[in-house]
Amino acid sequence: MLDDTKQALVQVRGLKMHFPIHAGLLQRRVGEVKAVDGVSFDVFEGETLGLVGESGCGKSTCGRAVLRLYEATAGSVTIDGVDISTLSPKDLRKTRPTMQMVFQDPQASLNPRMPVRDIIQEPLDEHTSLSTAEKREKVLELMDAVGLNRKFATRFPHAFSGGQRQRIGIARALALNPKFIVCDEPIAALDVSIQAQVVNLLEDLQQRLGLTYLFISHDLSMVRHIATRVAVMYLGRIVELAPREALYAKPLHPYTQALLSAVPEPDPDLAKSARVVLTGDVPSPSNPPKGCNFCTRCPQVMDICHEKDPEQQEVEPGRFVACHLFSQTTKTAGSTAEPRPQEHNQQGEKT
């Protein structure tokens, strides 16, 4: 999935994150939750890759597994030329300054017993040999960079608003001059009036510092604003990966079409006429359906969808889709390639 004209800072291949299920008196392993099930993508230097999908699809788990905050079940993650999935804990610690994370809930991710100055300084204490005076000056510079008043350095997190707390988390993530930052729904817990300020801050920092983001969100409108490319995730797998404008203008995968059709459009003249309504519930990640994960809800389901898992393929330059509708083998399979709409959903004709 590499683009020869760009250099991939992050390469994820076949990433799986399965959580065991234990039951019974002896707590034997009886199954597993496939939160992330074979995800592959690249993040190029200086870009923002948006990772979107409905709640519970595995977005946040994927972000944490990429940074090895979770020990992945399988797969590899290469960041800045180093395969971090095989590093020892000691060597992994040395690579931490390269990669950082901004968490979803700014209140839960900050130590309530530490003042802001110590929170931002903690990475410097752990990974640098700067003097106390140099650390203090660095903390004040970071507060300036994220728009926090230096006079607030001795205050505790409870004295700040949600947006200000998220700025503290961003300052902490920037302390070690990272190249790659995973933003795990950084605006989900903020008021709408504050969300744009935080996103604009992230964009400004990216331009000034040359940062690379994996931006995880369920807010498709905000992802369209900040992302360079967009990956759509469903039940632990990426179903479509494409440049932002191409994906929003012409989504190819049926799930992407349904997802984008649900985005409110304030201008009636621009509103989409065809609303794709998905019925039924998302299957359990501990017991996904046979074949394509989306086959139980897809309005364009075919017989082969219930039998074979579609492979991700490049259907246009830079556009990757995992769907039998775009499979060459499916197109030549005769009658099995005919779409068979679900009886309960007649609004999903292919456009």
Looking up residue 163, the CATH number of its domain turns out to be 3.40.50.300
Which stretch of DSSP H or E encloses residue 174? helix 162-174
Question: Per the domain annotation, does 69 fall within a domain?
Answer: yes
Contacts of 70 (CB under 8 A, 6+ apart): 17, 61, 64
- Going by pLDDT thresholds of 50, 70 and 90, the confidence category of residue 3 is very low
pTM: 0.87
pLDDT of residue 110: 93
In this predicted model, what pLDDT tens digit does every residue of 75-118 receive, in sequence order? 999 999 999 999 999 999 999 999 999 998 888 999 999 999 99
Q: Is residue 347 part of a domain?
A: no
Residue 70 lies in a domain: yes
Q: Is residue 2 part of a domain?
A: no
In a domain, 189, yes or no: yes
Structure tokens at 316: 């246009």
- For the chain, the domain total comes to 1
Whole-number Å distance between alpha carbons of 140 and 150? 6
Residue 316 lies in a domain: yes
> Between the CA atoms of 25, 27, 29 and 34, what dihedral angle is there, to the nearest 10 degrees?
120
| Stronger pLDDT, 190 or 239, i.e. the higher one | 239
Q: Which of 53-67, 81-95, 280-294 has the lowest mean pLDDT?
A: 280-294
Cα separation values, 3 from 8, 45, 233, Å: 8, 12, 21
| Gap between the Cα atoms of 214 and 110, Å rounded | 21
**What is the domain extent for residue 173?**
8-337
- The set of residues, in sequence order, having a beta carbon less than 8 Å from that of 252 and lying 6+ positions away, is 240, 242, 315, 319, 321, 323, 325, 326
Please provide the DSSP assignment of 180-230 as one string: EEEEESTTTTS-HHHHHHHHHHHHHHHHHHT-EEEEE-S-HHHHHHH-SEE
The average pLDDT across 218-226 equals 90
The answer to whether residues 103 and 182 touch, using CB atoms and an 8 Å cutoff, is no
Residue 317 forms part of a structural domain: yes
Structure tokens belonging to residue 38: 């074979």
Summarize pLDDT for 114-154 with one digit per residue, the tens: 999 999 999 999 999 999 999 999 999 999 999 999 999 99
CA atoms of 45 and 77, how far apart (whole Å)? 15
Quickly tell me which residue has 């903390």 as its tokens.
139
Q: Are strands 229-234 and 212-216 parallel, antiparallel or unpaired?
A: unpaired
Query: How far is the C-alpha of 183 from the C-alpha of 254, rounded, in Å?
Result: 27
Complete DSSP assignment for 286-342: TSPPSS-TTTTT-TT--GGGGT-PPPPEEEETTEEE--GGG-HHHHTSGGGGS----
Contact assessment for residue 5 and residue 61, using Cβ atoms and an 8 Å cutoff: no
Cα(346)–Cα(351) distance, integer angstroms: 13
Q: d(Cα 210, Cα 208) in Å, to the nearest integer? A: 6
Q: Is residue 62 part of a domain?
A: yes
d(CA 14, CA 38): 4
Burial class (CB in 10 A: 0-12, 13-18, 19+), 216: buried
Mean pLDDT estimate for the chain: 87
- Looking at residue 343, its pLDDT comes to 42
